A = this chain, B = another copy of it.
Amino acid sequence: MSTIMDKPEITMDVFEKHESKVRSYSRSFPTVFKKAKGYKLWDVNNREYIDFFAGAGALNYGHNHDKMKELLIKYIEEDAITHSLDMATMARGEFLKKFNQVILKPRNLDYKVMFPGPTGTNTVESALKIARKVTGRNTVISFTNGFHGMTIGSLSVTGNASKRGGAGIPLNNSVFMPFDDYVDSGSSLDYIEAFLVNSSSGVDLPAAMILETVQGEGGINAASYEWLQGIEKLCKRFGILLIIDDVQAGCGRTGTFFSFEPAGITPDIVCLSKSIGGYGLPMALTLIKSKYDIWEPGEHNGTFRGNNMAFVTATEALKYWETNNFSQEIAKKSEMMSAFVDFLVHEYPQLHGEKRGRGLMQGVACKNGEMSEQICENAFKRGLLMETSGPEGEVFKFLPPLIIDEEGLEKGFQIVEDSIKAVLDK
């Protein structure tokens, strides 16, 4: 039978002609992709690309992981159930058991698992809802440069002005506070406390605070563990629920399964998506402390809560977390990345570079968005996928699959450096 691989080639004009102007990545990476494996992709011209983008964090385990692939095909071949809303299925049950056994139990986490619909914005929306329901309050505190999704609830706690502008209505019931280190003169924690402690501050006692420990879209800003602890303390003191949006920074991206583990904090609600499915299939979870799981049946729902194919690969992916080995590997590669970032900042002063990030989620804030975008464009031409981050796109961002090997990292770094040179030489 004829397959995608045999088809006459699709060209870029198909997308220009038929697809809405809203499309974005087909502009940054203007080629038609065909195949992918591990940390590599190939386009229709069989050109190879190293992946420092990883599906914006959805491909921590790489493209088309062999073991997951095998299980997935088997599952499909056997006509095991594919679509099931939130009915009970074998695949869903296996995932729940494994998630409890490998992730929750060893960390002493008493969370109920909610399947909120298979996207990041859906887990965020469900988290905001349950926090408001539990507390009976409206306001949610969010943070500068935070990014949580494109539906109105999530967008209300997202900082980016152009995304916000897309709403077409005022975005309300949220208050933005400075993220860690946001203002040079003065402490974010002091600032937030001053608003909470004073009943005339104009900031109503919030239902929740929502934050990313490392801001993936907002500039790879990593919160210090002290700051995270301070936030948790404030939340406890004022009876505010703490929501960690671990959609991009979770699933091992910063070295531990949950990004907040090294900070020693325990959020009341955790949002997971992107890499939780393992293979890049749509899936999301909302973890809710048992005592706050006061949902009515069906109070939040959605058609694709039962993406069983994703449950199959997600369950397999959890095996990475049965021992510490994976974390240790990530740590090792993170050090390589960190050294490379340091090198760039010092070696190329014209970058006006500033180191950003943590784990395998690092980047360099450079002079301006133009420079950073040129570097990414240049890298693409040299065979590397990499995107910018930050309010002005001023950060170029390294987000390879976590399973990348040292060779892959080094190849990627070389392309980055070559691209920087090319851009700075112009």
Tally A residues with Cβ within 8 Å of B.
170
* Identity of the chain B residue whose Cβ is nearest the Cβ of A100 in the assembled complex: B18
* Given A24-B86, A129-B166, A169-B173, 20 further pairs, Cβ under 8 A: A4-B80, A9-B90, A14-B93, A21-B294, A57-B303, A63-B81, A117-B150, A121-B151, A125-B150, A129-B167, A132-B169, A133-B168, A152-B153, A163-B299, A164-B204, A166-B300, A169-B170, A171-B204, A178-B191, A273-B303
A202 with B190: CB separation less than 8 A: no
Q: Which 8 A/B pairs are nearest by Cβ-Cβ distance?
A: A186-B186, A132-B168, A83-B280, A10-B93, A176-B202, A24-B298, A152-B153, A151-B151
Please tell me which stretch of A68-76, A330-338, A348-356, A412-420 contacts chain B, meaning at least 4 of its Cβ atoms lie within 8 angstroms of it. Answer: A68-76
A176 with B201: CB separation less than 8 A: yes
A34 contact set on B, CB distance < 8 A: 80-81, 89-90
Q: Which of A44, A75, A169, A204 has the most chain B CB atoms closer than 10 A to its own CB? A: A169
A160 with B199: CB separation less than 8 A: yes
Q: What is the 8 Å Cβ interface bit string for chain A, positions 89-133, against chain B (1 contact, 0 not)?
A: 111111011011000000000001111011111100110110111
Copy number in the complex reads 4
B86 with A138: CB separation less than 8 A: no
What are 25 A-B pairs at a CB distance below 8 A?
Answer: A4-B312, A14-B96, A23-B115, A33-B81, A33-B87, A56-B303, A58-B85, A69-B76, A73-B73, A82-B280, A118-B118, A118-B119, A119-B302, A129-B167, A138-B168, A145-B200, A159-B198, A159-B201, A160-B200, A178-B194, A183-B191, A183-B194, A186-B190, A282-B282, A282-B307
A297 with B27: CB separation less than 8 A: yes
B297 with A23: CB separation less than 8 A: yes
| A184 CB-CB contact with B under 8 Å | yes
Complex-state Cα separation, A57 to B154, whole angstroms: 27
Q: What is the 8 Å Cβ interface bit string for chain A, positions 7-25, against chain B (1 contact, 0 not)?
A: 1011110110011111111
| A296 CB-CB contact with B under 8 Å | yes
A23 with B194: CB separation less than 8 A: no
Q: Which of A77, A86, A158 has the most chain B CB atoms closer than 10 A to its own CB? A: A86
Complex-state Cα separation, A14 to B93, whole angstroms: 6
Complex-state Cα separation, A190 to B57, whole angstroms: 34
Complex-state Cα separation, A293 to B22, whole angstroms: 8
Please tell me which stretch of A35-43, A230-238, A255-263 contacts chain B, meaning at least 4 of its Cβ atoms lie within 8 angstroms of it. Answer: A35-43
| A172 CB-CB contact with B under 8 Å | yes
Complex-state Cα separation, A7 to B131, whole angstroms: 37
A281 contact set on B, CB distance < 8 A: 82-83, 307, 309
B125 with A201: CB separation less than 8 A: no
Complex-state Cα separation, A281 to B313, whole angstroms: 14
| A195 CB-CB contact with B under 8 Å | yes
Complex-state Cα separation, A169 to B92, whole angstroms: 32
